[in-house]
Amino acid sequence: MNKMNKMINSILLVDDEDLFHLVFEDACSILDITLSLEALNSSDEADKKFSEWFPDDPNHERPECVFVDLNIIGSSFDGIELIRKINTDYGNGCVIGIISSSDDNQEIEKAKAAGAQFWLVKSDDIEPRLEQFRNDYDGYLDKSNPFKVYK
Amino acid sequence: MGINKVCRDDLLKLANEKRIYLEGNILKVISANDGDSEFIEYLNICKNKDKDSRIKRLSVTKQVQAQNKELVAKQRENDALMEELQTALEEAKNAEWEADKLREEAEKGKDKALEDLELMQKKTQFELIGQIVKVALWVILGVGIITTLLFAFTLVTGKENPILESTWSNLFGILLTNSFSIIGTIMGVKYATEKNE
């Protein structure tokens, strides 16, 4: 039961790559990270959902944690802009960060400035980073953890 | 989350008779009653099966993802090569066009040089002909004058010489005939040359 308490209530993944949705879902399930995972393909779609979730009721069905890809092909804006919108336009109510194959320092700084709490580098071996993230999660939830890059 | 006995029994029956097991995240919220070792074992089997299949799927998905990445990289490489090839083709076309242009210019130069050479040859030929004609005229004139002087001398001195008389008349006859013949030839050559040009 203790392990279950550590699970993240709900995760939203915004990534244009369908295959990565499967990888992320399986990795989360194997590592018991969450029981509820929703995946979206575009930042526009995510933006629309957040604009519906937040204005009237801040405790609406918004996810507890959001993973956003940096470059989302087929979207009007990138992951950093989505984070800025979620944090500033709709109100900061969730743990949010970037999940990307890039580890470009400039982009990382931009994400940090937009309000991202973490940067997780995507690679073939994503499970150890997700596990580290899960261990640090409580600190992100109560905003006590500083920005961290999981390489 | 606990489940009632009917449901529990049905699930165990399904597993025993048809080897159908529960799968997915629902397994993480279902719990067995304390002491129900049979259902605890069932849930463990389900969880292990689910985990195994997820690990297998994750591995396959990762492989596909890696292959996709490789394909995308190769596609990019191919695109770059195609672009290089296209550029090389365009450059080759341009070079061919330049070469054609240069060849045309060279051919034009060659034609002009040939024309100049021909003109020079004609000029030389005309000059040579002119000189020959001049020399011939001087020779003819000289012979005519000498013969006429000799003939005049025989007439003045009264020493008639039949050979000299016939030679003088023959010479003038021949000169007259040949003059027309030479003029005709020269005019003919000139006309023919002008027509060719």
8 Å CB contact of A22 and B57? yes
Give the position of tokens 């090389």: B88
Cα B189 from chain centroid (whole Å): 46
Question: Along the 151 residues of chain A, how does pLDDT read in single tens digits?
Answer: 344 447 888 999 999 998 899 999 999 988 889 888 999 999 999 988 888 776 566 666 788 899 999 999 888 889 999 999 988 888 767 899 999 999 899 999 999 999 999 999 988 788 999 999 999 999 998 889 899 999 8
Q: How is residue B32 annotated by DSSP?
A: P
A26, A32, A124 ranked by CB distance to B66: nearest: A124
Q: Say how many CA atoms lie within 13 Å of B135 toward its Cβ.
A: 6
d(CA A119, CA A46): 19
Give the pLDDT confidence score for residue A1 in this predicted structure: 38
Say if residue B194's pLDDT is above 50: yes
Give the pLDDT confidence score for residue B32 in this predicted structure: 85
- Per-residue pLDDT of A36-65, as tens digits, reads 899 999 999 998 888 877 656 666 678 889
8 Å CB contact of A35 and B51? no
8 Å CB contact of A20 and B68? no
The encoded tokens of residue A121 equal: 């580098």
- DSSP secondary structure, B77-114, as one string: HHHHHHHHHHHHHHHHHHHHHHHHHHHHHHHHHHHHHH
Give the pLDDT confidence score for residue B192 in this predicted structure: 78
A17, A27, A35 ranked by CB distance to B29: nearest: A35
Give the pLDDT confidence score for residue A57 in this predicted structure: 66
Give the pLDDT confidence score for residue A3 in this predicted structure: 43
Does the CB of A73 have a partner CB in chain B at under 8 Å? no
Q: What share of chain A has pLDDT > 90, as a percent?
A: 52
We find that the CATH architecture of domain A2-150 is: 3-Layer(aba) Sandwich (3.40)
Domain boundaries of chain B, sorted by first residue: 5-76, 112-196
8 Å CB contact of B65 and A27? no
CA-based max dimension of chain A: 42
- Per-residue pLDDT of B127-181, as tens digits, reads 888 888 788 888 878 888 888 888 888 888 887 777 777 877 887 788 788 778 8
Give the pLDDT confidence score for residue B187 in this predicted structure: 81
Say if residue B189's pLDDT is above 70: yes
Q: Which of B53-57, B122-126, B191-195 has the lowest mean pLDDT?
A: B191-195
A29, A31, A36: best to mutate for the B interface, most B CBs within 10 A: A29
Give the pLDDT confidence score for residue B145 in this predicted structure: 86
Say if residue B95's pLDDT is above 50: yes
Give the pLDDT confidence score for residue A59 in this predicted structure: 63
Domain boundaries of chain A, sorted by first residue: 2-150
Give the pLDDT confidence score for residue A56 in this predicted structure: 64
8 Å CB contact of B65 and A20? yes
Among B173, B180, B182, B177, smallest CA distance to B147 is for: B173
Chain B residues in contact with A20 (beta carbon < 8 A): 65
Among A22, A131, A120, smallest CA distance to A67 is for: A120
Which of A32-46, A121-135, B34-48, B95-109 has the highest mean predicted lDDT (pLDDT)? B95-109
